């Protein structure tokens, strides 16, 4: 297993395949780097170096009591960039990983990154407030916390239904996809995953997004039941100066896993543009 050790002693697991221009992936909650398998295989076969890490307290990385918040996530990602001496990279983030990408770019700059992609990402901020009236109420995130605390295993299995749009009439449900989601979620640590709910729901990425000065593709499904697109992708694209917004009719939050042909093709087009 390939790992790095970051400044607080935490061991971060990562995959690093192929050669060429690096494409670096940040996964969503409560998953791990395996969520990007379809994209990594596709781009790796087309001459790109593909890299994905397990966020601390997720997957095969150390389960930590502290540091399960966006600043530390971004610093862990920066440590990976430094350890591998990555340059001219394309940085791709889904959901919580999109927040991690935004915070990395806002906190560490774009000197090592040529382009960014945000897929169903949580920025600018998910929590409803006077400043963000289109957000979700805190009760929605309290329900997630209760699910994780009371029966994490069953909660993750149930979460696959809205995550992949499998609760929609006529949906072609894959039990394999559902079980893989559950398996990835259960590899992580409950403390870090619990803390991460606050991180992805309450962190305000507005100033991070304003600092992004590289071409950025914002991809969001209009049937995303986890991160509603009007308060996320649409607002993000308005804040990022050099951005392109692509809305996918009928696509759910987990579209990168179940609509891989379309998402992969659009990623490749953007990277090559």
Q: What are phi and psi of 159, to 5 degrees?
A: -65, -25
Phi, psi of 90 (to 5 degrees): -105, 125
Do residues 5 and 11 make contact, with C-beta atoms less than 8 angstroms apart? yes
* Spatial distance between the Cα atoms of 74 and 110, rounded to a whole number of angstroms: 13
Catalytic one of 224, 231, 243, 259 = 224
Q: Quote the CA–CA distance of 103 and 94 in Å, as a whole number.
A: 13
Query: How buried is residue 52: exposed, middle or buried, by Cβ count under 10 Å (0-12/13-18/19+)?
Result: buried
Distance CA 155, CA 177 (A): 15
DSSP string for residues in 12-58:
EEEEEES-SSEEEEE--TT--GGGGHHHHHHHHTTT-EEEEEPPTTS
Q: Active site includes 95?
A: yes
Q: What is the rounded (10 degree) CA torsion for 85, 96, 13, 154? A: -170
Catalytic position from the list 27, 53, 94, 253: 253
Active site residue 253: yes
Helix (H, G, I), strand (E, B) or coil at 264: helix
Which of 26, 95, 201, 243 is the catalytic position?
A: 95
Cβ-proximal residues to 85 (8 Å cutoff; 6+ apart), any chain: none
List C-alpha distances in Å: 15 to 20, 26, 88. Answer: 15, 12, 18
Q: Catalytic positions, please?
A: 95, 224, 253
């Amino acid at each position: 297993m390939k790992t790095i050790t970051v400044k607080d002693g935490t061991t971060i697991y990562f995959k690093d395949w192929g050669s060429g221009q690096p494409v670096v992936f940040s996964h969503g909650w409560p998953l791990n780097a395996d969520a990007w398998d379809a994209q990594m295989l596709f781009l790796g076969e087309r001459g790109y170096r593909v890299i994905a890490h397990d966020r601390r307290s997720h997957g095969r990385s150390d389960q930590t009591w502290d540091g399960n918040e966006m600043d530390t996530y971004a610093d862990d990602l920066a440590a990976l960039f430094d350890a591998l001496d990555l340059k001219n990279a394309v940085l791709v983030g889904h959901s919580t990983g999109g927040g991690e990408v935004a915070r990395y770019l806002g906190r560490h700059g774009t000197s090592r990154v040529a382009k960014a992609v945000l897929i169903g990402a949580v920025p600018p901020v998910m929590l409803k407030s006077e400043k963000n009236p289109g957000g979700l109420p805190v009760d929605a995130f309290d329900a997630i916390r209760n699910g994780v605390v009371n029966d994490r295993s069953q909660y993750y299995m149930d979460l696959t239904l809205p995550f992949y749009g499998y609760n929609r009439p006529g949906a072609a449900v894959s039990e394999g996809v559902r079980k893989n989601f559950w398996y990835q979620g259960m590899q992580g640590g409950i403390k870090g995953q619990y803390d991460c709910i606050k991180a992805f729901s309450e962190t305000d990425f507005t100033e991070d997004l304003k600092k992004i000065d590289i071409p950025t593709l914002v991809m969001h499904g209009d049937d995303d039941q986890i991160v509603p697109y009007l308060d996320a992708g649409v607002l993000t694209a308005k804040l990022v100066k050099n951005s392109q917004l692509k809305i996918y009719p009928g696509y759910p939050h987990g579209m990168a896993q179940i609509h891989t042909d379309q998402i992969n093709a659009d990623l490749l087009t953007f990277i090559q543009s």
